[in-house]
Amino acid sequence: MMASSSVRDDRRGTPRTPAVLAVALDSENKPARHGVTRDLSANGLLIVTPTHFAKGERLKIKVHAGALGLDVVGRVARVDENPISSPELWRYRVGVQLDEPLPVDLADPRDAPRAARL
């Protein structure tokens, strides 16, 4: 029997916050790539990017939050390809599980309007 989407969402353990932030992405084989976050949580980022990364790949990420540049490291937990009919600018949606939690002021859902403005 398949779990409902609400049960699957509970696995994440931390709420997601909509956030549109530019990111610089570096992996061992793919340096100097880019993307844009769609949402974030204390422990992860959902990024759209034109670059295909593999599940399990390690990424160094610079999150451009206004004048602040935040450096984080994580592992690609999921890669989805947007359908051709998608309104997304880039082809891939990459879910990244972070090694260390994001700062509370960036990841707190109550700050969602602030995060979207950064």
Q: pTM of whole model > 0.85?
A: no
Averaged pLDDT for residues 67-95: 94
Structural domains in the chain, sorted by start: 12-108 (2.40.10.220)
Confidence of residue 68 (pLDDT cuts 50, 70, 90): confident
Give pLDDT tens digits for 12-53.
Answer: 567 889 999 999 999 999 999 999 999 999 999 999 999 999
Q: What's the distance, CA 5 to chain centroid?
A: 19
**How many Cα neighbours within 13 Å face the side chain of 21?**
28
For residue 2, pLDDT over 60 is answered with no
Label residue 8 by pLDDT band (50, 70, 90).
Answer: very low
